[in-house]
Amino acid sequence: MTKLWATVAGLIAMWTGAPSVGPSKVVTGTAYDFAFSGIDGKPLQLADWRGKVLLVVNTASFCGYTKQYAGLQELWTRYEKAGLVVIGVPSNDFGGQEPKSEGEIKSFCQGAFGVTFPLTSKQVVIGSEAHPFYKWAADAIGPKGLPNWNFHKYLIGRDGRLLRSLSTRLAPASEEVTSWIEKALAEHASQGAALQN
């Protein structure tokens, strides 16, 4: 029953909250301080993409928003050469909609949506057991920008700072998402190039 109420509360918050919010405070460190385990078990260091713009998205295979995988792949294809890295973070936190193993998740994403962007192993993204990246983002963004459902998006600038929290209900190809991505890609392009050299 507790999970049911958490699901209902998450859905209400998703539909009544702001579609996107910026950080509410400056926090120490950057996204480059964090690492995940890749879906294949290999280390996935965010610092490996220093100077790039990151879109970190908690995902699920059995969600009404699962079709957003196609939009995320489209973003990755469209903006990869400009410096965007899309990172999918499978999570079973919302509605138990990611119950499968990492191998099954990877096969599903590649087979159903042609996903080629990086995927992490399954992670907790909310609460006290959340992955450290998600705790850092929660600290910076505040309650209004926390994930309330699958396919919540965090946009990280080329300097590793959190720029924006983007709601589940914003489709990857929506004007709001693409305009924030394009702004992030343009604003720090010279700094990002310097960081990569």
Catalytic residue of the set 63, 85, 86, 177:
63
User: What letter does residue 170 receive in the DSSP assignment?
Assistant: S
- Return d(Cα 155, Cα 165) in angstroms, integer: 6
Structure tokens at 34: 């964090």
Q: Which tokens is 178 given?
A: 């693409």
Cβ-contact 194, 37 below 8 angstroms: no
Q: Is residue 63 annotated as part of the catalytic site, yes or no?
A: yes
Note whether 31 and 54 are within 8 A (CB): yes
Task: Report the Cα 10 to chain-centroid distance in Å.
Answer: 17
Find out whether 102 and 9 touch, Cβ atoms under 8 Å.
no
- C-beta separation of 59 from 86 below 8 A: no
Give Cα 75 to chain centroid, integer Å.
13
The DSSP element (H or E) to which 85 belongs, if any, is strand 84-90
Active site residues: 63
